[in-house]
Amino acid sequence: MNLNKTTDYVLLKAVDKSEECVADKKLYETKTSKCGKEIYFVLDRNSKRLDFPRIADYLKRFSETSKKNLNVCLDSFVSFIKEAGQTFDMILTVVSSISFYEKPTFSLKTKKEPVYDINYLINEDHIDLFNEVVVIKEAQHFCRTLQDMPSNFLYPTEFTKRVKELFSDVKDKVNIVEFDKARIKQEKMNLLLAVNAGSIREPRFMYIEYKNNPESDEYYGYVGKGITFDAGGMNIKTANHMRWMKFDMSGAATVVSTLYALAKNNVKTNVVAVVCLTENLVSPTSVRPDDVIISHSGKTVEIDNTDAEGRLVLADGLSFAARNLKVTKLVDVATLTGAMLYALGDTYTGVWSTCTCQWKTFEEIAYKSGEYVWRLPLHEDFLKPLESNIADIANSVSDPRAGSSRAACFLKEFTNDLPYIHLDIAITADVKHIGHGTMVRTLYNYAKNQNFN
C-alpha cells in the first residue's frame, strides 16, 4: 500500500451518475474507460444520504473480481460527502473495502498468491484521517488472519500468544491479563471449563484493558466468543455442519483486534476486551446433556445440548466483565446461532439491545462504518422454553422457533442487568469461507464515540 505515489496503475475514481461516461450504469456499478486507464464508480451527488454499507459492499465486490494494482482517488469519493464529519467515514469505507483482497491473510499454498499494490491519492489535509484508517484496516486484517487459520494452527494458547505479539508495540497503553486452566478454576468459570472438558488442549481466559479517558465514567466491556474449533461435543455435529467450525472464534478475534486499533490510534475511550477460549470436542470426559453446571455468576445451568456451547463460555465472560471488571456497558460478539442464516443471511449482523436509545446510536454508527445491522427482539417469552426442573436455566431446547433470540435472552441473564448489546455474526463473520473481520470498524467507532452515548 502506498500514498500519493506516482504510478502507471489504472485509476479508480468516483463519478456522479449524471456523467456521460457512466450513462449506461446504475448506482455503485463500475465501468472501465475506453482507453482502459480509468475505472469509474457510480455515486449520486444529489442523494439525501450516503449509503456507506452499500458503497462498502460494491467496492468489496469490485476488489474481488478485479484484482489488479490500482490508483484509488480518495478525493473523488470524499467530494460526495454531505457533512464534514463524513470524511472519515468515507475514507474508512473505501480503504477497508478496496484493500480487502490486497493480500492473502493465511495461506499454506506452495505456490505464492499474488499481492496487489494499492496507491491512494488524497489531499494533504486528510492525511491524519487516512493514517487512522490504515490502523483500523490492519487490525481488521489481523482479525481475518486469525479467522482463516485452521484449528491445528490456532488453539487457545496460540491465540493468546499471537494477541500478545500484536500488542507488543502498544503494551505501555494496555493491561493484558491471561488466566490458565488453574486460574479459571479458581475464578469459578465452570461453564468455560465444562465446554473445555472434552479437549486435551487447555482453555484460556484473557482480558485486555485500555483506559484512556479519565474524564469519563464509562467503561465498555467487549466480550468475544473464542471457540477455536467446535465439533459440537457429545451432541456431535454432522459432517456438513462441522466444516468451517474454525471460524467459531471470530468474536474473540473481533474484540481484541478492535481494542488494538483503539490503543494504536490513542483513541480517548475506556474499553476492555474479554475473550473466552477453548475447543468444544467429544471425548469420554466431555460434558453431557443433563449435566448441571454452576456458572461464574452463581446461576446453575442444565445442559440440554452440548452444541449450544458458545452461550456457555460467553455467560462466564459477561459475568466476569460485569462483576469483576466493573464495566458500565456490555457488548458481546459471537458466531452464535446457525438460525441467523434464515433470519438475515450473510448481509446483516443481528443485534439485540436492552435499550432502544443505545440501539439507535449503535445502528447509526454501524451505518457510518459501512456495516449492515438489524435489530431483533429480546422478549421474556423466549426464556420460557429454557425453564429447568433442576437448575436455574437450561442452555437450550429442541425447538426451532426464535432460536437466535432465545440464545440472546439466555445471555442477558448473565449481564448483571447492565445495558447490553448482543451481536450474532454467525453468518456474516465468514462469507465464502474466508474471514471478514465483521464489526471491527463498528465497534471501533462505537468506542470512539463513547462520550456521546
What pLDDT was estimated at residue 415?
98
Predicted local distance difference test score (pLDDT) of residue 180: 98
Please, what is the average pLDDT of the chain?
97
Residue 453 has pLDDT above 60, yes or no: no
pLDDT for the residue 1: 85
The pLDDT, as a whole number, for residue 85 is 86
Terminal C-alpha separation, the chain: 35
CATH architecture of the domain with residue range 2-121: 3-Layer(aba) Sandwich (3.40)
Beta strand segments in 258-392, E = 270-280, 292-294, 300-302, 329-334, 349-353, 373-375
Measured distance CA(453)–CA(446) in Å, rounded: 9
In this predicted structure, the answer to whether residue 313 has a pLDDT above a threshold of 60 is yes
Nearest residue to 288 via CA among 271, 309, 304: 304
Q: Look at residue 60 in the predicted model and tell me its pLDDT.
A: 96
- What is the model's pLDDT at position 84? 81
Between 102 and 84, the more confident residue is: 102
pLDDT digits (tens, 9 = 90+) for 318-365: 999 999 999 999 999 999 999 999 999 999 999 999 999 999 999 999
Distance from C-alpha of 319 to C-alpha of 335, rounded to nearest angstrom: 19
Other C-beta atoms closer than 10 Å to the C-beta of 432 total 7
Helix (H, G, I), strand (E, B) or coil at 87: helix
CB neighbours of residue 353 within 10 Å: 23
| Residue 168 CB neighbour total at 10 angstroms | 7
Instruction: Identify the pLDDT of residue 67.
Output: 86
pLDDT digits (tens, 9 = 90+) for 182-223: 999 999 999 999 999 999 999 999 999 999 999 999 999 999
pLDDT band at 178 (very low <50, low <70, confident <90, very high): very high
Query: Does 452 score more than 70 pLDDT?
Result: no
0.85 cut: is pTM over it?
Answer: yes
44 vs 55: CA distance, rounded Å: 11
Distance of CA 199 to the CA centre of its chain: 26
Check residue 131 and give its pLDDT.
98
For 302-312, write each residue's pLDDT tens digit: 999 999 999 99
Strands (E) across 281-347 are located at 292-294, 300-302, 329-334
Asked if the 137-452 domain carries CATH number 3.40.50.150, the reply is no
Q: Which of 237, 268, 288, 375 is catalytic?
A: 237
β-pair type (10-16, 70-73):
parallel
* Contact assessment for residue 223 and residue 321, using Cβ atoms and an 8 Å cutoff: yes
Residue of 99, 178, 103, 104 whose CA lies nearest to 135:
99
CA-closest candidate to residue 98, choices 143, 68, 139 = 68
pLDDT over 90 (residue 75) = yes
Grouping H, G, I as helix, E, B as strand and the rest as coil, residue 84 is coil
pLDDT at res. 28:
97
The grid coordinates listed for 430 are 465468514
> Percentage of the chain surpassing pLDDT 70?
100
Q: Give me the residue spans of the domains in the chain.
A: 2-121, 137-452
Buried (b) or exposed (e) across 392-427, using 16+ Cβ within 10 A?
bbbbbbeeeebbbbbbbbbbbbbbeebbbbbbbbbb
Confidence of residue 140 (pLDDT cuts 50, 70, 90): very high
Catalytic residue among 201, 311, 329, 448: 311
Determine whether 13 is an active site residue.
Answer: no
pLDDT for the residue numbered 82? 87
Tally the residues of the chain.
453
Residue 375 is among the residues annotated as catalytic for this protein = no
**Mean pLDDT on 296-303:** 98
Give yes or no for residue 270 having a pLDDT over 80: yes
Q: Which of 334, 313, 330 is nearest to 322 (CA)?
A: 330
Q: What average pLDDT does range 246-256 have in this prediction?
A: 98
Task: Using the predicted structure, report yes or no on whether residue 451 has a pLDDT greater than 80.
Answer: no
- All three cell numbers of 254: 473481533
Q: Are 272 and 322 in contact (CB under 8 A)?
A: no
